[in-house]
Structure 1
Amino acid sequence: MDDGTHPLLISNYEEEDQQLLRLRTLSFTAEGDIEHINGLRDFFTQFGVESKKLWYLAGPAIFTSICQYSLGAITQVFAGHVGTLELAAVSVENSVVAGFSFGAMLGMGSALETLCGQAFGAGQLDMLGIYLQRSWVILITTAIVLCFLYIFAEPLLKLIGQKEEIAKAAGLFAIYMIPQLFAYAVNFPIAKFLQAQSKIMVMALISAVALIIHTTFSWLLMLKLGWGLVGAAIMLNFSWWFIVVAQLIYIFSGTCGRAWSGFSWKAFQNLWEFVKLSLASAVMLCLEVWYFMALILFAGYLKNAEISVDAISICMNILGWGVMLAIGFNAAISVRVSNELGAGHPRTAKFSIAVVVISSTLIGVVISFILIISRNQWPIAFSSSIEVRKLVSELTPWLAASIVINNIQPVLSGVAIGAGWQALVAYVNIGCYYILGIPLGLILGYKIGLGVMGIWGGMLCGTILQTCVLFGLTYKTNWNKEASIAEDRIRQWGGENDGKSNDTEK
C-alpha cells in the first residue's frame, strides 16, 4: 500500500540516519566512549578532534611552565650583573636547595593529577576541593620538615664540597627563600586542582603577569637600588606568592562551582592512603630529576672537567627548554587520561595516548633535525671557547636523541600519573636509571675512556629502556580494567559517599 512518501525522501532519510549513526560512533561525548574507527579518513578526523582537546590543555601548560621556569632564570641573570659571588649563591640555591624542594613538592602534588582528574571525569566534583585540602595538609607538613634543609644549607653545601664563601652566601640566601618553599606547598596542589578542570588558561595569565612584575622589580631592586641578594629574595618570594594568592582568589570567588565548596574536616580523612600516593609521585619524579643532575656531577670528575661541564651544561640548557614542551604534554595527557578513566571511557583514554605520543614525537624529531643540521653554528651563541663549542657539536647527536626520547618519556609518565601507577613507575625508574643507566655510563665514560659521551650514552640507554618499559605497560594495559579501578578508587576514598552526603546536607 502506497503511503504517499516519495522514494527519494526515503533515500535521504536513510543517508541522514547513516551519517548520524557514523558521527555518533566516532565522536567523543559526555555520555559515551569512542567506538571503532574505520579507515584513515576517520582516523585523521578523530585525530584532529583529539589534538584540539590536547593543545587546549598543553598550550597554556607549556606557557605556564616557561613563565615559572623563567622566574629563577631571570633572577640568576640579574645576579650575574651584581657580582660573581651573588651569581654563584643564587645558582647553587636554585639548583641544589630549591631544586630539591621543587622536585619533591611537584612530585607530591602530582598525586592530585590522578585523584582530581578521575573524580572530575566521574562527575564527583565535590571531592576535588577535599582532595586539594588533603594535599595542602601533606605538602605544608613536608615544607616544615624541609625547612631544616634551608636552615642548615651552609654546612650541607660545605659537606658536598662547595667553597666556603659560596656555601656561606648560598646558605644565607636559602634562609631568605623559606617563604618560597611554602609557596611551592600551596601552589602545586592548586595547579593540579585547576588542571583537572581544564582551567589552565587562567594559570597561564597569572604566571605571565607574575613574570612581568618579577622582571621589572628585580631590575629595580637588585641593580638600580643595589639590594643584591636581599632584593633577589624579596622578588622571588613575592612573585611565587603572587601566583598563589591570585589563584586562590580565583578559586574562592566561586568560579570552580561545586569543585570548591569551602574548607572541610573531611580533608583529614584517609590521609595515609593519600600520603602513600603522594610519596610515590614524589619518588617517581625526583628519581628522574636527580638522574640528569648526576650527568653534570659525573662530568666534573673527568680530565678536562671544566670543558666537559660547560659543554654538558649548554646541552642540558637546550634539553631543559625542550622538556618544557614535554611537561605541557605531560599535564595534558594526565588530565585527559584521568578524566576519561573517571568517566568510564577506556577507549577514549587509549586514543588520547596515541594522539599525544605521535604529536610529541614529531615535535621532538623536528627540533632534533634542526639541531643536527646546525650543530656547528648554534653552540656559538652559548660559548666563546673553541674547545667547548667543538665538544658541544660532538655531543649534538646525543642531545638530539635525548630530545626525541624526552619528548616521549614524560608523556608516558603523564599517562602513569593519570592512571595512578606512580609506585610501579618509581620501581621502573630505579631499575632503568640507577641499576642500568648510571653504572653503564660510568663504565663507558671512565673504564672504556669514552669520556663525557660515554657517560651520556650509558645514561641515555637507561632512559630508552625506561621509555620502552612504560610503552609496553601502556600497550598491554587493560583500559577497561583501569576505568573500573578508577571508579573503585573514587568510591574507596569517599567520592560516591561524600557526594551523596553533600547532596543530603544541601
Structure 2
Amino acid sequence: MGHPHDQAQSRGESSHALGTSFRSQLGSFSMPAPLIAEEVIARDLQDAPESPDSSSDDDDSEGSTERPSEFSMTETYRRPSYVNPGLRSCVPLASSLPEHGYLTKRERAAVRDEERSLLQDNLLIPPRQPRRGSEGGLSGRLGRRSLSALRKVRSSADEEAAIGPDDEVPSENTALLGADLAQPFGGDDSPVNINKKWEEAVAAGKIHTTWQREAKTLGKYASPLILTFLLQYSLTVASIFTVGHIGKVELGAVSLASMTANITGYAVYQGLATSLDTLCAQAYGSGRKKLVGLQLQRMVYFLWLITIPIGIIWLNGTAILSAIVPEQQTAQLAGLYLKILLAGAPGYAAFESGKRFLQAQGLFSATLYVLLVCAPLNAAMNYVFVWQFGWGFIGAPIAVAVTETLLPLGLFLYVRFVDGRDCWGGFERRAFRNWRPMIRLALPGLVMVLAEFLAFEILTLSASWISTTHLAAQSVLSTVTALTFQIPFPISIAASTRIANLIGATLSGAARTAAKVALCAACVVGILNVTLLSTLRDYIPALFTNDKEVIEVVAGLLPLCAAFQLFDALATNCNGILRGLGRQEIGGYVNLFAYYAIAMPISFGTGFGLKWGLYGLWAGPAVALGVVATIEGIFLYRTSWERAVEEAHKRNSMG
C-alpha cells in the first residue's frame, strides 16, 4: 500500500503542468490500473450492460470527472487486513496503497479542506473568521484599514451627501471587514476559488509547511490506525493471554497453531483478496457501482472454494505437525486448535472480501466500528469459555471461530443500516462466471503476502526444536514484539499517505519536511518501546504464563528485543517513506535481502550451529532491522525530492 511531492515549479510551463491539485495528482505514483480489471468490467457489461450509476455522489460543484491519482488527503490507501501475524510482515506490500483513480464526494471535500488549510497557513486566503481587535497578521491589518476607512466616511459630510438613495449608509451593524471578509475565509471558500488559488500558489512556489503542522497531521492520520491495528491484533493476543496461564505446553501449541493457520490459511485469504483492491475500485471508479457487489460475490465464492484444501490441511494438522515438531503433545493440541478454528474460516474469508468492498467506496471506518464491538467480545469469550465454562484449551479456538463468524455479520449490518448499499445489486448468477482475470490478479498478491509471513514464522517452527519451554517463550516474545510493532507501522502508513499527497501536489519541500517528522516520530516511538520492554522485562512474561522457566527465558531475551526496537521503528517508517516516494521496490529488495540473505543464515547459524538457542534465533532479525534502517536511510538521504516530483508527473501523464 509510489508517491513523491515538491515545488518543482520555478520554470514557466513545467511549473503550470506540475501545479495541479491534490485531487488531480492522486494516481501519479502507481502504474495505471491493471488492464485485467478493465477486461473483467468489459465482460461483465457484455453479460448485462449497465449504465453508470447516476446517483454517484458526484453532485459536487466540481463535477464528477475528477480522477485523482492514487492518493488523497483522505486516507484512500488500502489498510492492511486483520491477520494472525506471528510477528510482523517483513516485506512491504507493493499494493499497500490503492489503485483506484477516483474520489468520492466525501474524499473531495476532505482534499479541499486540506488545500484550504494550507492556503490559509501561507496567508494566501483570510482566516475562517477574522478575529476582532487582532493587532497582528493579515486579519489585523485588514481590520485596521477597514476601520480607518469607515471613520473617514463618517467624518466627511461631503461623502455622506454623495450617497445615493439605493446605497447602504454605514452603521454600527456594518461589517468592519467588508462583505466578503465577513464571510468564512473572506468569501474565497467556493471550490472554484480554492482550486484557482491553489493552482496559482503551487505554480508560484508559495505553499510551505511546518514541523508543527506535519506532526499534527501525522498524529491525526495515525491515531485511528493505531487503534484499529491494536484491536485487530487483540484477536490473537486474547487467546495467548488466556491459554498461556494453563501451561507452557498449551502456550506453545497456540503459537504453533497460529503459525500454521497464518501460512496455510489466513495469508492465503488475505493475499487472494488483494485483487479486489483493483477490481472493486475500478468498477466503482467507472460508475458501475453494482459491479462492485458482483466482484465481492465472486471473491467470497472463490475463497470458500479455497477453504476446501485449507480445511483438509487443518483437519490433518495433528499428523502434519507431529511429523515436523518433536514434542508430540504440543503437536496434538495445535492440531486440535486448527480443527476447531476451521469453523470460523468461511467467516474470515467473507470478512476479508467485505472489507475491500467497503474500502473501494472510501468507507474505511466500517472495519474500526466492527472491531470496536468484536474485539472486546472476543476477549470476554476467551475468558468465559476457557475459565468460567471450564472448557480449557479448546475454549480459545472456539472464541476465535465465533468472533471470525461475527466479523462479516458486523460488516453486513454496517452496509444494511449505515452506508455502502449503493454498490450491492443482489445475488447474481454472473458471480459464478469470469473468474480467470480475478485469479490472475489474485496470485501475485498471494505470493507477496506469503513471502512476508514466512520469514518470521520460521522462527516459531525452529523454536519447537529447542524445547517446549523455548517454544512457549517464542510465543510470548513474538506476541510482545508484534504489539510494539502496531504503533510504528500505522505511523508509517500515515506518513506514506501524507508524503504521497504532497508529492502529488508537487510540494517537494513539504514532502521532505513530512518525511523528517515521520522519522523523528519513529525515533520517539522506538525509544518508548525500548524503555517499556527494558523496564518491564520482569513483569511482561507473567502476563502470559505462570511457568517460571518460560518467564525466565522471556525475561532474559526481552533486552535483546528491546535493543532493536529503535531500528524496527526506523526501518518501518523508512519503508513507509519509500512507498510515499513511489520507490517501494527499493524497500522490497532491501527487506528480502536483509531477512532472507542475512537474518535467516545468522539465526540458524547462531541458534543451532553455535547453540545459542532463542538468543541466536532472534539475533538474525535484530541484525536485519539494523541493515534495513541503515540502507534505506542512506537512500532517502541521497534522494532528490524535486526529481521525484518530476517522475511522478511523467508517470501521471503516461497513465
TM-score (norm: length of structure 2): 0.57
Distance 1:281 1:333, change over 3 A: farther
Residue 301 (structure 1) shift: 6.8
Alignment of 1:76 with 2:240, yes or no, is: yes
Partner of 1:108 in structure 2?
Answer: 272
Q: Report the alpha carbon displacement of residue 121 of structure 1 after superposing the two structures with TM.
A: 5.8
Q: Note closer, same or farther for the CA distance 1:235–1:310 as it changes in structure 2 (3 Å cut).
A: closer
Q: Which has the higher contact order (CA 8 A, sep 6+)?
A: 2
Moved more, 254-263 or 323-332: 323-332
**1:364: which partner in 2?**
522
Choose which of 399, 420, 442 in structure 1 pairs with 2:565: 399
1:116-195 alignment, distance < 5 Å: 116-117=280-281, 120=284, 125-195=289-359
Amino acid of the structure 1 residue aligned with 2:620:
I
User: CA 1:19/1:246 → structure 2, altered by over 3 Å: closer, same or farther?
Assistant: closer
- Report the Cα distance in structure 2 between the residues aligned to 1:395 and 1:183, rounded to whole angstroms: 35
Q: 1:313 to 1:436 in 2, by over 3 A?
A: same
Amino acid at match of 1:107: G
Deviation for aligned residue 1:200: 2.8
Structure with a larger share of its residues in helix? 1
Q: Tell me whether 1:204 sits opposite 2:371 in the alignment.
A: no
| C-alpha distance after superposition, 1:50-95 (max 9, x if no partner) | 658x72xx54443233223212321232223445554443332223
Runs of 5+ in structure 1 lacking a partner? 488-506
Alignment of 1:275-424 (within 5 A): 275-297=439-461, 316-326=478-488, 328=490, 346-347=504-505, 360-373=518-531, 376-383=534-541, 389-409=555-575
Q: Helix, strand or coil for the counterpart of 2:339? A: helix
The secondary structure found in structure 1 opposite 2:426 is coil
Unaligned runs of 5+ in 2: 1-162, 164-176, 542-547
| 1:438-461 C-alpha deviation (Å, 9 max, x unpaired) | 335556777799945642344325
Instruction: Write out aligned runs for 1:51-90 (5 A).
Output: 51=218, 55=221, 58-82=222-246, 84-90=248-254
Q: In 2, distance between residues paired with 1:125 and 1:481? A: 30
Alignment match, 1:498: none
Alpha carbons of structure 1 residues 92 and 352: separation in structure 2 relative to 1, 3 Å: farther
SS in 1 for 2:322: helix
Partner Cα distance (1:188, 1:33) in 2: 43
Counterpart amino acid of residue 308 in structure 2: I
One-letter code of the match for 2:537?
P
What amino acid is aligned across from residue 132 of structure 1 in structure 2? L
The change in CA–CA distance for 1:132 and 1:50 in structure 2 (over 3 A counts) is farther
Give distance in 2, aligned partners of 1:253 and 1:269: 30
Answer yes or no: is 1:271 the counterpart of 2:429. no
Amino acid at match of 1:226: G
Letter in 1 for 2:205: N
Q: How far 1:186 moved relative to its partner?
A: 0.9
- Output the aligned Cα RMSD: 4.9
Asked which structure has the greater CA Rg, the reply is 2
Deviates more, 1:459-468 or 1:372-381: 459-468
Q: 1:500: which partner in 2?
A: none
SS of residue in 2 equivalent to 1:169: helix
CA drift at 1:134: 3.2
- Cα 1:350–1:300 shift into 2, 3 Å: farther
CA contact (8 A) 1:134 1:271 kept: yes
Distance 1:166 1:251 in 2: 42
- Determine if the alignment matches structure 1 residue 38 to structure 2 residue 196: no
Q: 1:172 to 1:407 in 2, by over 3 A?
A: same
Shifted more, 290-299 versus 244-253: the winner is: 290-299
1:24 counterpart residue number: 195
The 2-side partners of 1:250 and 1:484 are apart by 38
Question: Secondary structure in 1 aligned to 2:487?
Answer: helix
Matched, 1:479 2:655: no
**Residues 46 and 24 from structure 1, CA distance in 2 versus in 1: closer, same or farther, beyond 3 angstroms?**
farther
Question: Contact 1:330 / 1:414 at 8 angstroms: preserved in 2?
Answer: no
Task: Give the Å deviation of 1:153.
Answer: 0.5
Query: C-alpha distance in 2, partners of 1:407/1:211?
Result: 27
2:600 to 438, 445, 467: 438
Determine helix, strand or coil for the equivalent of 1:197: coil
Residue 158 and residue 126 in structure 1: after superposition, are their counterparts in 2 closer, same or farther (change >3 A)? same
Aligned to 1:243: 407
Q: Percent identity?
A: 20
Separation of aligned partners in 2, 1:469 and 1:277: 34
Aligned residues: 464
Indicate if the aligned counterparts of 1:300 and 1:308 stay in contact, CA closer than 8 A. Answer: yes
Deviates more, 1:352-361 or 1:287-296: 352-361
Contact 1:284/1:425 (<8 A) preserved = no
Secondary structure, counterpart of 2:306 in structure 1: helix
Letter in 2 for 1:459: A
Partner of 1:459: 624
- The structural deviation recorded for 1:377 is 1.6
Tell me the TM-score normalised to structure 1 length.
0.72
State the alpha-carbon separation in 1 of the partners of residues 216 and 195 from structure 2. 14
Moved more, 428-437 or 235-244: 428-437
The answer for the alignment partner of 1:234 in structure 2 is 398
Q: How far has the Cα of 1:241 moved from its partner?
A: 1.0
Q: Is the 8 A contact 2:567 2:626 kept in 1?
A: no
